[in-house]
Amino acid sequence: MSSPAPFVYCPPQEPLQTVYEDQDLLVIHKPAGLLSVMGRLPEHQDSAYLRVLKQHPQAKVTHRLDMATSGLLIFAKHREAEVAVSKMFQARQVTKHYIALLQGEIQLDGSVDVPLITDWPNRPRQMVSFEHGKTAKTLFERINYNAETDISRVKLTPITGRSHQLRVHMAHIGHPIMGDGLYHPEPSRFALPRMALHAAYLAFQQPLTQQKIELDLPAPF
């Protein structure tokens, strides 16, 4: 068996799209294929955060999306906003959901409540571990099903925020996310140039101004 080809980072070069901005926060549309933050290697420096810093030198990271995931990503413009947004996420005061394409038919809405842990010998993979894993819960809701391609479009709502949670949970129930190079047994089965997972919706109360913010970014697939 031939070994997998080495990873070559080729992020998209189009300018970042600003979805929302005020004096404290910046919300962008992170494209699939772009790191949220800089990697350790010099060739992995290009990232959403590095690009934001060029326009907002005091910007801070508040949360992340996987490189292969697209969608809404919040940055704080200064330290006070970073602290306030971090507390907001910790208190689970942010409503968010993702749109995904899954292999197979999702017939009923439901939830996945299984603990996750890092698969250390195979990092960055995560795995289910009932003995050592941390609590993780995801709600899923069927949107539609394409019988011709055997693909379900679903809304995913993470109740917790574990690394790769949505990806592992969907694979665990036998409906991996299409194009997922880590958890789909046949990631190239469906002709998508990317993983079909998109952070589509955020709603929260701006912690410094108390303004209610609701953002909806349609999935590009």
Catalytic residue set: 66
Round to whole Å and give the CA distance between 26 and 197: 22
DSSP at 47: B
**Residues 67/33, Cβ–Cβ less than 8 Å:** yes
User: Coil, strand or helix: which one is 76?
Assistant: strand
Round to whole Å and give the CA distance between 101 and 81: 34
Structure token pair of residue 182: 């880590």
Round to whole Å and give the CA distance between 30 and 199: 9
Question: Max Cα separation, the chain?
Answer: 58
